[in-house]
Amino acid sequence: MPTKTAARINTPPARPPLDTETASAALDPFASIFMGVLQSNDPLIIERGLNGSQAHELYRDLRRDGKVFAGLQKRKLAVVSRPWTVEPVSDDAAGNADAAVVSDILKGFAFDQLCNDLMDALLVGWQPAEIIWTLAPVAGARERVVPRRVVKRAHRRFVYLQEAGQPAALRLLTREHMQQGIALPERKFIVHRVNAEDDNPYGTGLGLQLYWPVYFKRKGVLAWTKFLDRFGLPIPWGKYPTSATPREKGTLFDALRAVSNDGMIMTPEGTMIELLESKLSGSGTPHQAHVEFMDDWIMEVILGQSPRGGSGGALAAAANERQDVRLELSQADSDLLSETLNATLVKWICELNGLAPCTVYRKVEAEEDTKATSESDLNVTQMGFQMTEEAVRAKYGEGWEKSANPPSAGANPANSFHTNLTIPASGSSNFAEAPHAHASTDQVALDDALDKMLADDALQQQMEQVLAPVFEQLQKENDPQAMLGWLAERFPDLPEDALQERLSQVLFAAAVWGRLHGKA
């Protein structure tokens, strides 16, 4: 007979409340709710006395700034430019077939344009869009319920209504219902939101962080323009005698205005005017530094891009870091957008057409370095392995087939420049020459020029002094890879491509010196 302690341990816990919200915004004593209409908790919107639907009007103006527009375009197009894929939740034959149907449906309208429109939520915090459904055949099959188009709608036309114990509901404002709006049909509107603090449906966009740098930048540009207007062009200065009559002063004024409409100065003779100039020195101006600082602030908010500066290795490291951060931002933007689409549009398509649940996603990753990949594949091949044709096409794309004349086993195409060049043994001074019968016209001309140089003893001595260390190293290292290592130590700042080119030059120069030295 089990003990009471064991019975208590085996008793399942009581279920928590299902499908209810205990701490909803409707019960928040600090929230401003009038007639059930929720307000945004964006502090800048609250300071301006606006509601959530009017936030778009405040932040929309930020797009007029070139830096803001360019940064947002980079964020949005970095996602939209990536290919998207539809996969079934259940990986079986029926699920894969339904996923292909959903993919065809998404291809039937401007799906990428929809993604681009929904990502406007990055700036404002939320973005509504309306689905216009229709009946249409898909891939030659029966008619299905599909989106004909999806239209981005203005924020000012919507509000969120909050009832106790229920999630906030999107409502459409009309002329007859300007306060609470009217209820919307189900499976009709998509809303993408970002950074929803305390589950506020209006979200919090980048406009909150971008408003002040754009504001200060505009003030700085205005002051800079006034500075250039005042000091960039000469100002006409007219002097009139102290006994001048008003008519004479008017004549002088008309003459000055004929010279310049932007500004002029009129003073009696003997009057002194001085300008107090700044003691700052340098090619830039405080206005330019101010505007550039604000631009750096804007780009760091949008792209996570660190301020400008640095050089050499620091600059290259900063560029790599920015690239990594941008890839992470793009993948995060894509994942959040996919969650919204999978919970709304894709889910509704599957439900309305009796299809298995599917998901759509985009994979954002850096472009593969095909040169490094091919070099790795070459090293693996030299170890005795061989790639299949399918593997080659999967990695390098279609259009590849096996060559009719494959290279010999162990051959290294990367070192083809060393094929006809033999490094001399110790004590020898001649390089083996390729057969003259197989030489090209350019090679014959080069040989003739070398033969004419053989009689120049001074030139031969100079070449011996310059190339003696290289020739000594070539005698020690009869391997191009070892020579690459030696060159890398001598030239640590050169990239790999430049080192390989330098090795080719060294081998050629050594071959020329060997011929001259051997025939002298």
> What is the Cβ-side half-sphere exposure of residue 247, based on CA atoms within 13 angstroms?
0
> What is the Cβ-side half-sphere exposure of residue 322, based on CA atoms within 13 angstroms?
17
Query: Tokens for 292?
Result: 């550039």
Query: Tokens for 49?
Result: 């006395």
Integer Cα distance of 206 and 194 in angstroms: 9
Backbone angle region of 113, left / alpha / beta, with phi > 0 → left and psi within -120 to 50 → alpha: alpha
Integer Cα distance of 116 and 103 in angstroms: 18
Integer Cα distance of 116 and 192 in angstroms: 11
- Which residue, 487, 464, 473, 490, is CA-closest to 423? 473
**3-state DSSP assignment of residue 427:** coil
> What is the Cβ-side half-sphere exposure of residue 203, based on CA atoms within 13 angstroms?
20
Cβ neighbours for 89, distance < 8 A, ≥ 6 positions apart: 95, 356, 357, 358, 359
Helix-helix angle 312-343:66-80, to 10 degrees:
60
Written as one letter, the residue type at 258 is A
Cβ atoms of residues 346 and 360 within 8 Å: yes
Task: Identify the residue whose tokens are 């260390």.
Answer: 469
Helix (H) or strand (E) holding 86: strand 84-88
Written as one letter, the residue type at 80 is V
Give the count of beta carbons closer than 10 Å to the beta carbon of residue 125: 30
Reading the chain (520 residues) residue by residue, the pLDDT tens digits are: 555 555 556 788 888 888 777 777 777 787 777 787 888 888 888 888 877 666 677 888 899 999 999 999 999 999 999 999 999 998 888 899 999 999 999 999 999 999 999 999 999 999 999 999 999 988 767 789 999 999 999 998 999 988 766 788 999 999 999 888 999 999 999 999 999 888 888 999 999 999 999 999 999 999 888 887 777 667 777 888 888 888 888 888 888 888 776 677 887 887 766 655 555 555 557 888 899 999 999 999 998 876 665 544 455 555 566 676 788 889 999 999 999 999 999 999 999 999 999 999 998 877 665 666 777 777 777 777 777 777 776 667 666 777 766 655 444 444 443 434 444 444 444 444 444 444 556 555 656 655 555 555 655 565 566 556 666 665 665 555 666 666 666 666 656 666 566 666 666 666 655 555 554 4
Residue 371 burial by Cβ neighbours in a 10 Å radius (0-12, 13-18, 19+): exposed
Integer Cα distance of 79 and 360 in angstroms: 13
- Which residue, 167, 99, 100, 86, is CA-closest to 363? 86
Integer Cα distance of 173 and 180 in angstroms: 7
Task: Identify the residue whose tokens are 């539809």.
Answer: 86
Integer Cα distance of 332 and 326 in angstroms: 10
Cβ neighbours for 165, distance < 8 A, ≥ 6 positions apart: 20, 21, 24, 26
Integer Cα distance of 9 and 195 in angstroms: 41
3-state secondary structure 231-280: HCCCCCEEEECCCCCHHHHHHHHHHHHHHCCCCCEEEECCCCCCCCCCCC
